[in-house]
Amino acid sequence: MKQIFFYAFLFCQISFAAVAGLIDFQNVDAIYGKDDRSFVDSRSKQKIKELSQSVALIVSEDVIEKKFLYSLILANQITDKEGLNVCIDEKFAKHHSVNSCTGFLIGPDLVASAGHCFMSAEDCANKKIIFNVRSINEVDKGYNVFNNSIYECSEIVKNAFNPDESLD
C-alpha cells in the first residue's frame, strides 16, 4: 500500500509541475518505440550507402591532426565527461562524439547545413568539411579520414540564424 501511495504521490507531483510549466515535456529529447538507428556499413541498403556519401561532418580545424595520407579527427568517447556523458549501456556509448555540425551536398561544390554552423567569414575560414567519416575508421582518439575527404569552406552563400525566432 505504501508503494501505491508513493507512486500516486509522485505522479501527482510530476503532473502538477507539468501543468505549472515547471517541466516542459515538449522539449525533451527522446526516442520513442524501437531504436533502429544504425551505422552505414556493408550490410546497409545500396541507396543508403550512396546517399551517405553526400553527408559531411563540419569541424573546427583545431580538432584535426594532419598526417601524410590521412588525418585524425580528435573526439571523446560518448561516455566521457568531456563527451556527451551518457550511460555506458546507451546505444553507441562505446563510440566517439565530435563537437561538430553536419551538412549535406546539394550541388557539386555546395553544402547545406544549419545556420549556426557557419555564421561568419571567420567560421568559414576556421572550419573544415569532411566526408567519409565512417565507424569502421574509428580509433582510440577519434576517426581517421583520408586527406582527400577534407575540404575548406570558400564562402558562405546564404545564412539564416536567429535563435529568438527559432530560425536556424
Q: Model's pTM, two decimal places? A: 0.74
Sequence-ordered list of residues with C-beta below 8 angstroms from that of 81, at least 6 positions apart, any chain: none
Which pLDDT value is given to residue 7?
40
Would you list the DSSP string of 101-127? EEEEEEETTEEEE-GGGS-SHHHHHHE
**SS3 label, residue 4:** helix
Distance between CA atoms of residues 36 and 92, nearest Å: 12
pLDDT at residue number 131? 95
Helix (H, G, I), strand (E, B) or coil at 51: helix
pLDDT at res. 135: 87
Q: How far apart are CA 14 and CA 19, in angstroms?
A: 9
Q: In what order do the strands lie in the sheet with 127-131?
A: 110-113, 101-107, 55-60, 127-131, 150-152
According to the model, what pLDDT value does residue 26 have? 53
* pLDDT value, residue 87: 80
Strands 76-77 and 70-74, sheet pairing: unpaired
Tens-of-pLDDT digits for all 168 residues of the chain?
A: 444 444 444 344 444 444 444 445 455 566 677 878 788 888 888 998 888 889 999 999 999 999 999 999 998 877 777 666 778 888 887 888 887 899 999 999 999 999 999 999 999 999 999 999 988 898 999 999 999 999 999 999 998 888 888 888
User: Nearest-CA neighbor of 145 among 100, 108, 84, 86?
Assistant: 100
Distance CA 8, CA 19 (A): 16
The pLDDT value given to residue 29: 60
